[in-house]
Amino acid sequence: MITGGQLGELVKRAREGATKRNFDQSVELTLVLKDIDVKRGFSINEVIELPNKISNPPRICVVGSGDLSTRAKKAGIDRIIEPDELDRLGTNRREARKIVRAHDFFLADTSLMPNVGRSLGQFLGPQGKMPTPLQYGAPIETLSTKFRNSVRVRTKNQLNLAAKIGDEKMEDSKLVSNAETVVTELEKKLPQGGKNIQNAVVKFTMGSTAKLSMLKKDKGA
């Protein structure tokens, strides 16, 4: 199990190893896993809400019309796709791929989910971005806030998980709190919890990696 103290030390070392640049560097946490057979279809695709906001929040796209579209606009949703545009995207692969890449989270009116699958599914599926279905009257404002404060952590056929936990402007305590949340949520999804974590790494965009090894023989690392 990774403790808050260990994560605090990682963040501190990562900050010390970061080269100053004229832009706000992102801070990323990577967990390297062990004792998991990826050949048996192991995969994780989790949306984790962080306790502390990060700059450059995720971009959200809503597929819907009418009242949903109106409320999504008021909520400041980055992109709204109406049914007519959705149909057009089904014949424009380049534009469809561009939209999928440009947005982190998708939400869609439940009645439009089959259309989304036909028009965007081939691009959303491989990236683990299939939309969250929205029932009539869904609290889009609340959902918008939730997703803007969240990160997607995804792995497929590989033994590592990475998540942005903040940026260099944030206090170390807030970065640690975000990292703890990610670790706690992911441990719930691993077959043996924290025992499946081999290494934890924290890195600023332009910095060296700060690594914590969970192997007994590397206790001094």
Q: Are residues 88 and 66 in the same domain?
A: yes
Instruction: Give the rounded percent of residues in the chain with a pLDDT score beyond 90.
Output: 86
Q: Are residues 125 and 185 in the same domain?
A: no
Q: Are residues 135 and 99 in the same domain?
A: yes
Q: What is d(CA 125, CA 5) in angstroms, rounded to the nearest whole number?
A: 37
pLDDT tens digits, one per residue of 103-115: 999 999 999 999 9
The label of the residue with tokens 């995969």 reads 43
Q: Are residues 45 and 70 in the same domain?
A: no
pLDDT tens digits, one per residue of 70-107: 999 999 999 999 999 999 999 999 999 999 999 999 99
Model confidence at 216: pLDDT above 90:
no
Q: Are residues 139 and 175 in the same domain?
A: no
Residue range(s) defining the domain that contains residue 184: 4-52+152-218
Residue 160's pLDDT band (boundaries 50, 70, 90)?
Answer: very high
Residue 12's pLDDT band (boundaries 50, 70, 90)?
Answer: very high
The three-state secondary structure class of 106 is strand
Q: Are residues 93 and 167 in the same domain?
A: no
Boundary (domain end) residue, out of 147, 170, 193: 147
Q: Are residues 69 and 143 in the same domain?
A: yes
Q: Domain count for the chain, please give it.
A: 2
Q: Give every CB contact of residue 62 below 8 A, 6+ residues apart in sequence.
A: 68, 69, 72, 77, 79, 80, 81, 106, 107, 108, 134, 140
Boundary (domain end) residue, out of 147, 182, 197: 147
Boundary (domain end) residue, out of 147, 173, 192: 147
Model confidence at 64: pLDDT above 90:
yes
